[in-house]
Structure 1
Amino acid sequence: MTMPRYTREVGRKFYADGTPHSFPGNTIICMLSPTQPLFQVASAFQAALGKTSVGAKFAFLPPASFHMTVMDLLCDQARDPAHWAHALPRESTMAEADAFVYARVQPLVPPAELVMRVVGIFYGNNLMLTLEPADEATRTALHTYRASVAAATGIRFPDHDTYGFHLSLAYRLIEVTPAEAQVLAKVCHNWGPALQAAGAALVLPPPQLCRFDDMSNFVPLETAGY
């Protein structure tokens, strides 16, 4: 019997059976409201892919956690100098890391509204909808806010200026066969137009500073007593 060839996400963000693995951190995100057309179409896309022969190779994220990451911050498993705040000791607990970013990010004024659009579907190690600003106002607001967060926290990843906005739908757990890759490509091709139409003018709420224990749930830090 051939053993599955697991991806790097097994033992990192997920267990082999697809349940979330501990992966604590904090981040700034815009949640996708269930009232948005994209929420419904993305959920249906997940369900359709899950019924195919390749669906079992993925861990699907719960729709309640659908979001666009505005800026990654501190992660327990990424404590190297390029991904950690210089002013915070690298041996700090994640509770201390949460308090550190809260004190510096909370006073900043986030954009009141961001309008994004779905560009396409990326299906490498993780399955995501690629996004881009739908207008110049959003592009400027994102750039300005991310720059202010970086200045306030001292967190500026190497890809800060090239970061690709996206909405993650699933993580691949097991390497796919050539036949499964064709199935995946076909499903993504078939659903692409509907996803782009539903996300042609995606209005997102103001970014929120959140903490997470794993990839299934994101909790605003302002509700966590900091």
Structure 2
Amino acid sequence: MSAAAFSLSAILPHWLLAQQNGLPPSEGDDLKLTVIPKDTHLKFNPDGTRRPFAGNTVICHLPQQSHVQDTVTAVGDALRSSSFAPKLAILPSDSYHVTILGGANDLDRSQSEWPQDVPIKASITECNRIIGQRFAQFKIQEEMPIRFRLDKEKTIAPQLASGLQLVPADQNEKVKLSRLRDRLADEVFLYRAKNHATFGFHISLAYQIRGFTLEERREYQDLLQHHIPIIVAAAPVIELGVPEFCTFEDMYRFEIRTLLRT
């Protein structure tokens, strides 16, 4: 079904896809807010249940038993109790993390999104093993922890419901993260994704699986307006631990295999 949705997105006009996703476009509406992306179709069924989606990644989980974890979890809880919850695939709070560098996955293979030295038809288990071995030998000199700030404007801006947008805490963190991502891509994963230079850091809380009505979109933005000041007050700077090489079978759980050597 996800493959069909992806193929349709290449040939159908946006207004028709918007109707299929549950929101007929209205005058002045941004069509980007009505089309559910391919990535969501690969990871979740139309009813919001998770699909098999195996792969690898480098992330930092949110620190458990911390103020930032508590306040971000409160946003996830608010999404679950919202009127538009049936239109979301809401993630469990123990999966909350910040992606440092996205890796390869089993369903979306291409020469530009797959390690150069791993056969394109190799199992994802084999891909995980090869990347994991390189990651275990990879070492950096950058100072930990990694530090972010919540980007209030980008988070509240009209968009598909997903989560919280972040930026490096300062210029030094920006340079550190850029250098780390470049080295991981070039020395561990052996490819740079198409969005490597433009990747936006974030904490995913949910995936939107159907379009919102205008009223639901306003409710979503009001929810964010309420919770963002609470998060910022609890954690003006979000400090994360050493990046983790993780493998996953779906979007609910990320198994830590190796910690970054520093």
Q: TM-score, normalised by structure 2?
A: 0.78
1:1-226 to structure 2, matched below 5 A, reads: 5=22, 7-8=36-37, 11-110=41-140, 111=142, 112-120=144-152, 121=155, 124-152=159-187, 153-222=189-258
Q: Please tell me the residue identity of whatever aligns with 1:113.
A: P
Distance 1:100 1:3 in 2: 40
What secondary structure is seen at the aligned counterpart in 1 of 2:56?
Answer: strand
Q: Residue by residue, what CA displacement relative to the aligned partner does 1:154-187 show, whole Å, maximum 9, x if unpaired?
A: 1201221221111101111111112211211211
Contact 1:32 1:39 in 2 (8 A): yes
Gaps of 5+ in 2: 1-18, 23-34
Contact 2:61 2:95 in 1 (8 A): yes
Distance 2:129 2:78 in 1: 40
Gaps of 5+ in 1: none
Count of aligned pairs = 222
What secondary structure is seen at the aligned counterpart in 2 of 1:210?
Answer: strand
- CA-based RMSD of the aligned residues comes to 2.2
Q: TM-score, normalised by structure 1?
A: 0.89
Shift of 1:64: 0.4
What secondary structure is seen at the aligned counterpart in 1 of 2:206?
Answer: strand
Distance 1:193 1:172 in 2: 23
* Higher share of residues assigned helix: 2
Distance 2:169 2:231 in 1: 15
Distance 2:216 2:230 in 1: 22
Contact 1:10 1:16 in 2 (8 A): no
Shift of 1:207: 0.3
Identity percentage of aligned residues? 27
Distance 1:210 1:126 in 2: 25
Shift of 1:82: 1.6
What secondary structure is seen at the aligned counterpart in 2 of 1:12?
Answer: helix
Return 147-156 or 118-127, whichever deviates more.
118-127
Contact 1:73 1:155 in 2 (8 A): no
Contact 1:65 1:218 in 2 (8 A): yes
Shift of 1:138: 2.2
Return 45-54 or 156-165, whichever deviates more.
45-54
Q: Residue by residue, what CA displacement relative to the aligned partner does 1:55-112 show, whole Å, maximum 9, x if unpaired?
A: 2211111110110000001111221122111221110100111012112222112553
Contact 2:40 2:207 in 1 (8 A): no
* Higher share of residues assigned strand: 1
* Higher RCO, Cα 8 Å, sep 6+: 1
Contact 1:4 1:175 in 2 (8 A): yes
Distance 2:232 2:72 in 1: 10
Contact 1:108 1:148 in 2 (8 A): no
Return 102-111 or 80-89, whichever deviates more.
102-111
Distance 1:126 1:221 in 2: 30
What secondary structure is seen at the aligned counterpart in 2 of 1:220?
Answer: strand
